[in-house]
Amino acid sequence: MFGLMDGFLKNDSISLQKDILDHVEFTVARSRFNFDDFEAYQALAHSVRDRLIERWHDTHQYFKKKDPKRIYFLSLEFLMGRSLTNSVINLGIQDQYADALTQLGFDFEVLAEQEGDAALGNGGLARLAACQMDSLATLDYPAWGYGLRYQYGLFRQIIVDGFQHEQPDFWLNFGNPWEIERVHVSYPVKFYGTLKEEVLNGKKCKIWIPGESVEAVAYDNPIPGYGTRNAINLRLWAAKPSDQYDMESYTTGDYINAIVSRQKAETISNVLYPDDRSYQGKELRLKQQYFFVSASLQDIIRRFKDLHRNFDEFPEKVALQINDTHPSISIAEVMRMLVDEEHLDWSKAWDIACRIFSVTIHAVQPEGLEKIPVDLLGNVLPRHLEIIYEINHRLMEELKKSFGQDYDKLSRMSIIEEGAVKSIRMANLSLACCHTVNGVSRVHLETLKTRVFKDFYELWPQKFQCKTNGVTQRRWIVVSNPSLCSIISKWLGTEAWIRNVDLIAGLREYAKDPDLHTEWKNMKRVNKMRLAEYIETLTSVKVSLDAMFDVQIKRIHEYKRQLLNILGIIHRYDCIKNMDESDKRRVVPRVCIIGGKAAPGYEVAKKIIKLCHAVADKVNNDPDVGDLLKVVFIPDYNVSVAELVIPGSDLSQHLSTAGHEASGTGCMKFLMNGCLLLATADGSAVEIAEEIGAENMFLFGAKVDEVPALREKGTTLKGSLQFARVVRMVRDGYFGFKDYFKSLCDNVEDGGDFYLLGYDFASYLEAQAAADRAFVDQEKWTQMSILSTAGSGKFSSDRTIEEYAEQSWGIEPCKCPF
């Protein structure tokens, strides 16, 4: 057992140097006298990986010994970004590594830039999963993450002539030092086939005879906690051809075709689906969902059976969290495993399923909830379809007891949706089974209760819980804004806030302190300088550091209203054009930064990106405007771009039409970094206003409960004259591409303006004007900025995870003692 107690590897800077050089020579296979930055990064990453593995082994051995109830977090997406800096910080050996590298003639930060992003997710939901893994590890919870190891992550966005193009993300091409391939941890996953009726122990039952088997191979990704030795596991499954399958084809001599068809198995984990609801009902998507769910559940049940025989104990040892309805086929799979394989009674199995599952919904609109056509499910997973029918039959019987013959209600609550395409409502399946249904902000939960799942809420009010999202301060302050991190620790006199973020409220006391103001402004300026350099390298636009850096970075979507932002920019431009020189002197200079990806099939979103470029072209090249206004589109927005942009922002925009953003988590990252928010009263912004005081942000626009009535009024609602004027400029071809932009203009005028841009425009401009006025008074601005950071404590994923642990999962920390 040598090394177990103290850790086998040494962490002083001399040992680290030796270790890095060994990895250069033996892992990367380069001469230790001649290697470049990328090779140095690889060697460094392997040296960090060794240390991660050490803790991860200890943690899992300890979990095994203690056998606590574990939480299994199932998600089709994890947006981890880069791992290097985060790992060395969480391991607590950042300074030692920095020293070791300096002595080898390298710079830690330069090497960190060599790493590509792990982008196995689309946006909010996926980054939330990553933040929650960090919190689970840091808070010592016995947790596992399960997902898919896509070979291609989210597409790379390139911009050609202002238009978005998509390119594949070959993220594994140069190897991935952060994962451990586990060829011996693999499970067969079955698809297709037929059902056969048989009599077993005098009972009629259905036997599934699958038609295809694909092997799921585990890739483990250690997730280190901060300030603890615990490192938990994110297990991602890759599809490999199964050896059990198709031996027949070899013996029949069709060797070449047999090999080719084997290779097809791998397509299951090939590519991440971009978030586009029009992809619903696709066979490959369903196969991805079932593939990772089936492998994960086999793994979980195997682990349970290592120590237990009786499934009565299962709910005491296992909690399953499903991240949106994407993994909800797991409910049918648990039933299949318990009934068909473990031979439990249906009612016993259902009781177990109801005690282990909880779900978090991230959608607001009923249209955002997944449906799977019955024909598709029946073909790919015939036994699961039958199980879902049985669950539904029993649900309907139960509902009849409460609602009698109210067939409208019964059909709304049914798991089966009748209609042109008969479908399975995955959300209703989740609601029928899960003991807890979580919303991601207070307003979101309210919408779920009163609109989306009204019937279910009336029946089972106790299931509905609010778990307002949070993000991890480790990634979003400590890793991405080290200067702010030092300032906070210095003024609080402790680093304890990194694990206990409530302490950050202590900064309020110094919100007016001139010395803190000086340090705060310097920090912001240095971060802005870094961002300005990045902007210039990428777009050749030079920006002034005295300007307000005004940022909107997130997925491009109509409801997020990047178009409102651009129309606001056009208004600002129009005003500047009509000013004389003395008026111009009073203008607060702005750099308007927009970034984000549009789903490849989402035409409107792609037009918005083009409009942004068209406006930027005009504005940035207009000598009348100069430094008063610059417009920048940052291409290929991802986690590491966010880490650079957020610390360098003054103002950030969150413009969703009220009632459309379930929570929003970007705003929390800006808040922590002391950027002021300009936002609608939507999602988590409502709770942010409560924490920091509405007077410290710029709120505008229609409220959640006003929106339906405003929509009723439809086209009779006209926007202001100012709105008409800016839309007219686009219509008239002031920015070119007149025909191409016509439909964007139609949507917000004749088309009914579903997202209420016209209605909110005047109030938006007022909020923008208020931001300008505040920026002029730099002392006031800095004070608001400090109060934003100081009020961000609630929005840590540590708080969210503690709420989940106590209120949904019933788990306790399990801290590795050595």
Nearer Cβ to ligand 26Q (124/153): 124
Nearer Cβ to ligand 26Q (285/499): 285
Chosen residue from 120, 332, 377, 662 binding ligand 26Q by CB under 6 A:
662
| Contact range with ligand 26Q by CB under 6 A, out of 276-284, 289-297, 589-597, 735-743 | 276-284
680 has catalytic annotation:
no
Chosen residue from 279, 304, 510, 734 binding ligand 26Q by CB under 6 A:
279
x/- map, 228-247, ligand 26Q, by CB under 6 A: --------------------
Residue 300: phi and psi, rounded to 5, are -65, -45
Chosen residue from 275, 333, 455, 691 binding ligand 26Q by CB under 6 A:
275
x/- map, 514-553, ligand 26Q, by CB under 6 A: ----------------------------------------
Chosen residue from 225, 647, 648, 683 binding ligand 26Q by CB under 6 A:
683
Chosen residue from 27, 118, 124, 423 binding ligand 26Q by CB under 6 A:
124
Nearer Cβ to ligand 26Q (123/758): 123
Give residues with Cβ within 8 angstroms of 560, minimum separation 6: 554, 655, 656, 660, 661
Nearer Cβ to ligand 26Q (69/285): 285
Nearer Cβ to ligand 26Q (242/280): 280
Residue of 326, 554, 561, 630 marked catalytic:
554
Total binding residues toward ligand 26Q, as defined by CB under 6 A: 21
| Contact range with ligand 26Q by CB under 6 A, out of 15-23, 270-278, 334-342, 423-431 | 270-278
Residue of 475, 560, 572, 799 marked catalytic:
560
Nearer Cβ to ligand 26Q (273/795): 273
Give the SS3 label for residue 163.
Answer: strand
Residue 754 in contact with residue 636, Cβ under 8 Å? no
Nearer Cβ to ligand 26Q (591/671): 671
Residue 69 in contact with residue 142, Cβ under 8 Å? yes
362 has catalytic annotation:
yes
| Residue nearest to ligand 26Q as judged by C-beta position | 124
Chosen residue from 285, 348, 394, 499 binding ligand 26Q by CB under 6 A:
285
For residues 679 and 673, what is the distance between their CA atoms, to the nearest angstrom?
16
CB of 661 to ligand 26Q, least distance (A): 4
Alpha helices in 540-598 (DSSP H): 562-577, 581-584
Residue 237 in contact with residue 485, Cβ under 8 Å? no
**Token pair for residue 358?**
């909880």
528 has catalytic annotation:
no
539 has catalytic annotation:
no
| Site for ligand 26Q, residues 466 to 525, rule: CB under 6 A | 469
The secondary structure of 346-388 as a DSSP string is HHHHHHHHHHHEEEE----SGGGS-EEEHHHHHHH-HHHHHHH
| Contact range with ligand 26Q by CB under 6 A, out of 144-152, 296-304, 381-389, 662-670 | 662-670
Is 605 a residue that touches ligand 26Q (CB under 6 A)?
Answer: no
669 has catalytic annotation:
yes
For residues 773 and 767, what is the distance between their CA atoms, to the nearest angstrom?
10
What secondary structure letter does DSSP report for 324? S
Query: How far are the Cα atoms of 275, 641, 649, 768 from residue 645, in angstroms, in the given order?
Result: 23, 6, 6, 20
- The three-state DSSP-derived secondary structure of 610-667 is HHHHHHHHHHHCCCCCHHHEEEEEECCCCHHHHHHHHHHCCEEEECCCCCCCCCCCHH
Is 128 a residue that touches ligand 26Q (CB under 6 A)?
Answer: yes
Is 125 a residue that touches ligand 26Q (CB under 6 A)?
Answer: yes
**Token pair for residue 774?**
């505040």
CB of 326 to ligand 26Q, least distance (A): 7
Nearer Cβ to ligand 26Q (58/275): 275
CB atoms within 10 A of CB 603: 11
The secondary structure of 207-256 as a DSSP string is EEE-SEEEEEEEEEEEEEPSSSS-EEEEEEEEEEE-SSS-HHHHHTT-HH
CB of 559 to ligand 26Q, least distance (A): 9
CB atoms within 10 A of CB 67: 15
Q: Which of 72, 80, 92 is nearest to 131 (CA)?
A: 80
| Site for ligand 26Q, residues 55 to 94, rule: CB under 6 A | none
For residues 576 and 688, what is the distance between their CA atoms, to the nearest angstrom?
33
Nearer Cβ to ligand 26Q (283/706): 283
Which residues, listed in sequence order, are joined to residue 322 by a DSSP beta bridge?
Answer: 74, 359
Residue of 127, 362, 371, 474 marked catalytic:
362
What secondary structure letter does DSSP report for 796? B
Chosen residue from 73, 146, 155, 273 binding ligand 26Q by CB under 6 A:
273
555 has catalytic annotation:
yes
| Contact range with ligand 26Q by CB under 6 A, out of 81-89, 122-130, 347-355, 411-419 | 122-130
| Site for ligand 26Q, residues 398 to 457, rule: CB under 6 A | 440
Torsion angle in degrees (nearest 10) through CA of 639, 640, 641, 644: 120
Give residues with Cβ within 8 angstroms of 280, minimum separation 6: 370, 371, 372
Residue of 190, 303, 561, 669 marked catalytic:
669
Catalytic residue numbers read: 362, 554-555, 560, 665, 669
Residues that bind ligand 26Q (CB under 6 A): 122-125, 128, 273, 275, 277, 279-280, 285, 362, 370, 440, 469, 661-665, 683
